[in-house]
Amino acid sequence: MRTVLESDARRQAYYEKLADLHLGPLWTVFRDLLTPTPRPRAVPYQWRWQSIRPLLDEAVALVSTEEAERRVLVLENPGLEGESAITQTLYAGIQIIAPGEVARAHRHTANALRFILEGEGAFTAVGGERTIMHPGDFVVTPTWTWHDHGNQSQQSVIWLDGLDLPAALALAAVFYEPYPEESQLPGRPEGDSRWRWAQGMRPAFESATSLYSPILNYPYAIARETLERLAATSPGSPYDGVIIQYINPLSGGPALPTIDAYLQRIGPKSSLQAHRHSGSTVYCGVEGAGVIEIDGRPYAWEGHDVLVVPSWVPHRHLNPHNEPAILFSFTDTPLLRPFGLYREEAPES
């Protein structure tokens, strides 16, 4: 059908006339647009920590935070070359801040999260509150909040950045502003947001927006113990094992309006079930080691490896080892669910 349409000389001449007027026939592209199931341009991929880690020290020697604004290696999906994107909606990068450095204050409409990988003693300040970050901490920098980073420790500190930047770019909704000073002056004591909003109680004399979580830092020690306690009494999800969501306590929903983040535990010697869903997921190995079978291909991961599962690609988690395997992940599903775009199925059931 297609070839007949396109080989017809009269039709070709007609299409050229249309093109001159910035018009196009729908019937030649219809089947590429309205596909039965999603066809992501992003491909499954794994970045090995072993390969990334030495390049971070090299970046420290080559470029200052002063010059770079943020010293980050962007994880570029092989299917999205040149787009600074790990999926069509999500950005991921590895940021390093050396002792004594400052990553100056700014704000942007893109929402950001940090998952700390290595080093202790650097801080992120958001809206005047500083939090000292420890490995495994989950830190949010919601849309249009002022934020800066500083490292007053003796060691480099490294974290995974996750942003909704490709989605914000696609929506032509990126705004950016530098702060008038290099850093924000601490305006609130450390731990302020945790005491206010993360204790199952709230200050009854003040309100906060429910657009994003008011909690700045979700400490690893708490998240990790939660996983262990849940695992003692529950097998968890057949697809994800024991998995916890970092929530906005004001809504019960995702911590960021556009990004949902999780920590999960795949028990020793376990093979979970395959499933697929719309929305893309970025995984980062935290403890132990495991395997994600993506589209039938095994990706064996170790600590701090980053893996990406694009929309609708079947995947399953395996842990052949004797230790629990802990994974951090973030997804774009808050951009899908409210609009009826989220679908999930287990192909093998």
Residues near ligand GTQ, by CB under 6 A? 70, 72, 93, 95, 108, 112, 147, 161, 163
Which residue, among 116, 117, 175, has the nearest Cα to 140 in the 3D structure? 116
Residue nearest to ligand GTQ (CB): 161
145 versus 273: smaller Cβ distance to ligand GTQ: 145
The CB-of-241 to ligand GTQ minimum distance in angstroms stands at 29
95 versus 311: smaller Cβ distance to ligand GTQ: 95
112 versus 116: smaller Cβ distance to ligand GTQ: 112
Identify the sign of the CA torsion 217, 231, 234, 330.
Answer: positive
The CB-of-193 to ligand GTQ minimum distance in angstroms stands at 18
Which residue, among 99, 91, 92, has the nearest Cα to 65 in the 3D structure? 99
Which residue, among 183, 329, 334, has the nearest Cα to 256 in the 3D structure? 334
193 versus 319: smaller Cβ distance to ligand GTQ: 193
Q: Are 294 and 348 in contact (CB under 8 A)?
A: no
Q: Are 87 and 282 in contact (CB under 8 A)?
A: yes
Token duo for residue 65? 């935070």
CA distance 269 to 198: 34
Q: How far is CA 314 from CA 238, 273, 311, in A?
A: 14, 10, 9
**Amino acid identity of 325?**
A
For the chain, report the end-to-end CA distance as a whole number of angstroms: 36
Q: How far is CA 16 from CA 3, 26, 30, in A?
A: 17, 14, 18
The CB-of-178 to ligand GTQ minimum distance in angstroms stands at 11
CA distance 348 to 2: 34
Token duo for residue 312? 């609708």
The CB-of-316 to ligand GTQ minimum distance in angstroms stands at 30
141 versus 319: smaller Cβ distance to ligand GTQ: 141
Beta 315-319 vs 102-108: how paired, if at all? Answer: unpaired
161 versus 240: smaller Cβ distance to ligand GTQ: 161
104 versus 196: smaller Cβ distance to ligand GTQ: 104
CA distance 41 to 54: 29
114 versus 196: smaller Cβ distance to ligand GTQ: 114
The CB-of-333 to ligand GTQ minimum distance in angstroms stands at 21
The CB-of-163 to ligand GTQ minimum distance in angstroms stands at 6
Token duo for residue 70? 């943020």
84 versus 319: smaller Cβ distance to ligand GTQ: 84
The CB-of-156 to ligand GTQ minimum distance in angstroms stands at 15
CA distance 267 to 321: 9
